[in-house]
């Protein structure tokens, strides 16, 4: 079981040091967020380390989701190479997280060369050993979702129980085929980047400089994706939609995702306890009329 709002831990070990990360995790637990989402690549392993150190005796209060990286791009595929990568990654994550099991283990990106059979066989082994409880996929398309489901069924292997995808009110291409494939195969949908890297917070204004220290100010990649006339027009319309209903634009992105069929938990990042509390306190339940208007 996942809390409806999950804590994205990608800032740990990059933007936040160990103490600041611990404060964010503590605020999340106190606010009822029990779903912590990390990956071995976040902060080059420091995110997992900080989570393990911060949880201590509260480990059993949370669902820890982490992800393993694919094989190095310059490493040619040979049978067994992906299996070796997964086993090494799992042991490393268990050690850094200071735990005896991973609650939800994601394949962060599909392997372009290795058959999905090899990943599922290895994950099945880890589940049988008790080192992993549930497995999931991430950043996959509809065809890859269907293939994995078929292989699991045909070979009686552990099946992916969910898929993590980028999905928000500005990035909706996944609604064409990926989300329907998840629903068809009974997978829980776990959206990340619900705020479109901050574009859906309303803090970026048309024709204005980016706030100092903001993601767009620090990372041009994200600014290049979202800073355009179409995005600003959508944000302005969504802001008006929220204000007409006595709400803030900040409340809308998570509420909209949470209302979508099949969504299990929405990953929200935070760099301060106040942000965590604001994310957890979001309680806007959209009506069918609201959803129709947004659609």
| Contact status, residue 47 vs residue 57, Cβ threshold 8 Å | no
User: How far is residue 33 CA from its own chain's centroid?
Assistant: 14
136-149 pLDDT per residue, tens? 999 999 999 999 99
- The class (CATH top level) of 5-197+262-272 is alpha beta
Contacts of 132 (CB under 8 A, 6+ apart): 90, 101, 102, 105, 123, 126
219-273 pLDDT per residue, tens? 666 667 777 788 889 999 999 999 999 999 989 999 999 999 999 999 999 999 9
**249 vs 256: CA distance, rounded Å:** 11
pTM over 0.95: no
| Mean pLDDT of all residues belonging to the chain | 93
| Contact status, residue 132 vs residue 87, Cβ threshold 8 Å | no
Residue 274 is predicted with a pLDDT of 94
| Contact status, residue 90 vs residue 105, Cβ threshold 8 Å | yes
Domain ranges of the chain: 5-197+262-272
Higher pLDDT, 112 or 103: 103
**261 vs 236: CA distance, rounded Å:** 26
| Contact status, residue 102 vs residue 132, Cβ threshold 8 Å | yes
**8 vs 36: CA distance, rounded Å:** 6
Is 77 one of the catalytic residues? no
Residue 203 is predicted with a pLDDT of 79
Of 42, 106, 192, 204, catalytic: 42
152-161 pLDDT per residue, tens? 999 999 999 9
């Amino acid at each position: 079981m996942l809390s409806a709002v999950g804590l994205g831990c990608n800032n740990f070990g990059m933007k936040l040091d160990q103490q600041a990360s611990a404060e964010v995790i503590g605020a999340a637990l106190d606010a009822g967020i029990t779903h912590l989402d990390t990956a071995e690549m976040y902060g080059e392993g420091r995110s997992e380390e900080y989570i393990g150190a911060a949880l201590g005796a509260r480990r059993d209060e949370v669902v820890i989701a982490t992800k393993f990286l694919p094989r190095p791009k310059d490493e040619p595929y040979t049978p067994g190479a992906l299996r070796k990568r997964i086993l090494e990654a799992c042991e490393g994550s268990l050690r850094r997280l200071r735990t005896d099991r991973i609650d939800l283990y994601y394949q962060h990106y599909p392997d372009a060369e290795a058959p999905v059979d090899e990943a599922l066989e290895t994950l099945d082994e880890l589940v049988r050993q008790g080192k992993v409880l549930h497995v999931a996929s991430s950043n996959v398309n509809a065809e890859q979702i269907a293939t994995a489901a078929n292989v699991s069924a045909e070979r009686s292997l552990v099946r992916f129980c969910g898929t993590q995808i980028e999905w928000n009110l500005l990035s909706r291409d996944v609604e064409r085929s990926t989300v329907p494939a998840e629903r068809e195969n009974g997978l829980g949908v776990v959206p990340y980047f619900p705020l479109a890297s901050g574009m859906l917070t309303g803090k970026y204004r048309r024709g204005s400089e980016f706030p100092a220290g903001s993601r767009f100010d620090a990372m041009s990649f994200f600014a290049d994706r979202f800073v355009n006339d179409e995005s600003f027009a959508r944000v302005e319309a969504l802001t008006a939609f929220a204000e007409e209903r006595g709400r803030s634009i900040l409340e809308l992105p998570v509420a909209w995702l949470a209302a979508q069929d099949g969504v299990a938990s929405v990953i929200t990042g935070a760099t301060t306890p106040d942000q965590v509390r604001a994310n957890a306190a979001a309680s806007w339940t959209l009506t069918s009329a609201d959803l129709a208007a947004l659609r």
